[in-house]
Amino acid sequence: MRRHGRTKPYTEIGVQRLPCARCGKPADQQWNTCADGFWRPICVECDIELNEMVLKFMKDPSWKSKMKQYRKEMGCKTRNDG
């Protein structure tokens, strides 16, 4: 059974112990969904995809450059670093 999340934010250590609510990979980030009030653990890849989707939805004229920078920033958080 899939969890919906929780109503209070996870700690940094706590979120890293959970699978991504979307794809099941190890989580590293969390998102709060205002419509239902839940915080959900998500992996770096899903976090990047979600940020890009939101910037496009908001018709941000500089979404491409923002996402390029965000990908660089998030690259250091991948779990393949050992």
Q: How far apart are CA 52 and CA 77, in angstroms?
A: 17
- Report pLDDT digits (tens) over 21-49: 999 999 999 999 888 899 999 999 999 99
State residue 13's pLDDT score. Answer: 93
pLDDT mean over 62-79: 84
pLDDT of residue 68: 92
49 near 31, Cβ under 8 Å?
no
Q: What six digits make up the tokens of 46?
A: 């899903």
Q: Are 32 and 38 in contact (CB under 8 A)?
A: yes
Q: Is the pLDDT of residue 56 over 60?
A: yes
Nearest to 70 by CA among 42, 56, 51: 51
pTM: 0.81
CB 50 within 8 A of CB 23: no
